[in-house]
Structure 1
Amino acid sequence: MMKITSGVFSDFFYMIRKNKSALIGLIVILVMVIVALLAPILSPNNPLQRSLANRLKPGFWAGEEYNQFPLGTDYLGRCLLSRIIWGARTSLSVGFIAVLISTVFGLILGIAGGYYGGWVDTFLMRIVDVLFAFPSILLSITIMAALGAGLEKAMIAIGIVYIPQMARVVRSAILVIKEMDYIEAEKALGASHFRIIWHHILPNALAPVIVYSTLSVAGAILDAAALGFLGLGALPPTPEWGSMLSNSRQFLTSGAWWAATFPGLAIMLAVLGLNLLGDGLRDALDPRLRV
């Protein structure tokens, strides 16, 4: 295991430059984040404005007369490109905030169980095992049923679903780190548990946490899209990729293929970019994978 230092971050950028797929992933995610931040500027139309006269109109491929809606319109005549751009804010926010929730609580559970061991570890890991017994999407739906539909509730539900996985990753790293000689030396010198955890355990556990968090954002975006597809995510008329896909899937076979295809492509690109970036982070932060 390695400690996070400035040298590690310089190695990270070096590894990203060497790893072409990771570089592509980083570029894709950066572009999506920039698009989400600049949505009011980049959006060609109001994403909420309905116009039944323009219902299911094609986009630029159908001729110059359709350039007002570059990617066409949905079943309510709303600009599809504008909704995808604003939907990036929604979907990325859900992914990042949900993983932030799972990382914070996963770190607490993983460090407590891995470092202290004994009955503390047994008690916490049995709670984790109970949560692991449920399929992630089923657990998300159950939590949403208790909390109610809505974007904020979806973030909480997905965050809770990912806590057990993060706790297991952190615990496995802690079990290795706490047996290191320098940890024993700190204990022999009378260092407090808080000092050992804060200054030695946590920094050395961050590498696998960062990698797994990055990969988890991709899964969280997919789960958010699944909840939106089921009508449990963002409430209408909020643009969200999963709900856009759900509302337009019926038009795939009726000629208006663009209404569901482009939101699906947005989800695919976000997940692909995060997975490629996660692989690059793993190569950069794990010394065992370096050549």
Structure 2
Amino acid sequence: MEESFFKGTLRHLKRSKSAMLGLSIVILLILVGVFAPVISPHDPIAQSLYNNFKPGFWAKNYSNFLGTDQFGRDLLSRIIYGARVSLSVGLIATTIGVLLGSAGGIIAGFLGGWVDNLIMRIVDIMFSLPSILLAIIVVAVLGRGLDKTMIAIGITYVPQITRVVRSKTIVVRNAEYIEAARAIGSGTLRTMVVHVLPNVLSIIVIYATLSIGSAIIDAAALGFLGLGAQPPTAEWGAMLASSNDYITGGFWWIASLPGVAIFISVLGFNLLGDGLRDVMDPRLRRD
């Protein structure tokens, strides 16, 4: 019996130590985000100015395991809740980018002609701006806030995904099974959804996985600039921004630990994305 694509992908993925490490990090991040109210030792926004700037376990302070910030808030609790915020931003922003970009790429690649030219000229205009600048422009138009951040970051991924999916669609549309579907009277929309989409899905999954890590970094960057989540929301980028004045004052943990959380999260998604690319791309797969 022929092995299903999903089972084959999973079997090959298990052989990659780096991909499994990335998957483990991603699963841990999801669990931390989902169960944040249960595992968080303190209220992440509760302030106690009597306990500000307290070091953590390295100074035998086990009640605030990773120390406290300038307002006396427990840093471990804020990092835990920050995982929920960052994961939400990454997933929702990537979903927005994938849905819009995939639709645009399939339509442009399959229909061609003036439709393709119109969509790709819009993509070229968006590509002319650095992604973070484009996100700042969108936030400036929509306003500050976490929900606006998700939309802004999602829009910045649309041109990249559109171009990748379009290239794959152009290859797929000339396949014999597409010609056969047209010959038996399959409409344009049905052909794109039923026959083209499943055959470009692998590249979409790979790009989406890699984009989540990038979205977490972009959200942190916007938060650092004060354009993302607003205080007192526990968001890693905003935590870095609020600790900027204390980095050189000996309170290294306030800025370092949220930065480490960002690094580990992005590393997990990138390792998983690279593993999926190696497995799902026939040119890179090795039996």
TM (normalized to structure 2)? 0.97
Equivalent runs, 1:189-204 vs 2, <5 Å: 189-204=184-199
CA distance in 1, matches of 2:143, 2:210: 27
Partner of 2:252: 257
Contact 1:15 1:283 in 2 (8 A): no
Partner of 2:81: 86
Please report how far the alpha carbon of residue 188 of structure 1 lies from its aligned counterpart in structure 2 after TM superposition.
2.0
Partner of 1:17: 14
Partner of 1:270: 265
CA distance in 1, matches of 2:107, 2:10: 32
Partner of 1:54: 51
* Residues 1-53 of structure 1: per-residue CA shift (max 9 Å, x gap): xxxx9712112221221000000000001001000000001100000100111
* Residues 44-71 of structure 1: per-residue CA shift (max 9 Å, x gap): 00001001111110001101xx111000
Partner of 1:113: 108
Q: What's the Cα RMSD here?
A: 1.1
CA distance in 1, matches of 2:271, 2:123: 28
14, 29, 33: which one aligns with 1:32 = 29
CA distance in 2, matches of 1:281, 1:8: 13
Contact 1:140 1:158 in 2 (8 A): yes
* Residues 237-263 of structure 1: per-residue CA shift (max 9 Å, x gap): 000000101111332221110001110
Q: Identify if the C-alpha distance between structure 1 residues 205 and 216 changes in structure 2 by more than 3 Å, giving closer, same or farther.
A: same
* Residues 131-172 of structure 1: per-residue CA shift (max 9 Å, x gap): 111101111111111111100000010011111111111101
Please report how far the alpha carbon of residue 178 of structure 1 lies from its aligned counterpart in structure 2 after TM superposition.
0.3
* Residues 83-110 of structure 1: per-residue CA shift (max 9 Å, x gap): 0000111111011100100111111111
193, 201, 209: which one aligns with 2:204 = 209
Contact 1:15 1:280 in 2 (8 A): no
Contact 1:16 1:280 in 2 (8 A): yes
Q: Identify if the C-alpha distance between structure 1 residues 115 and 275 changes in structure 2 by more than 3 Å, giving closer, same or farther.
A: same
Q: Identity of paired residues, percent?
A: 53
CA distance in 2, matches of 1:238, 1:114: 42
Partner of 2:65: 70
Aligned pair count reads 285
Please report how far the alpha carbon of residue 196 of structure 1 lies from its aligned counterpart in structure 2 after TM superposition.
1.4
CA distance in 1, matches of 2:254, 2:191: 54
215, 218, 232: which one aligns with 1:220 = 215
39, 42, 45: which one aligns with 1:45 = 42
Partner of 1:185: 180
202, 206, 229: which one aligns with 1:234 = 229
92, 98, 105: which one aligns with 1:97 = 92
Matched, 1:137 2:140: no
Partner of 1:171: 166
Q: Which amino acid aligns with 1:53?
A: Y
Partner of 2:239: 244
CA distance in 2, matches of 1:286, 1:114: 20
CA distance in 2, matches of 1:271, 1:53: 34
Matched, 1:157 2:152: yes
Q: Which amino acid aligns with 1:20?
A: K
* Residues 166-203 of structure 1: per-residue CA shift (max 9 Å, x gap): 11111011000001111112222222112211221000
CA distance in 1, matches of 2:49, 2:251: 15
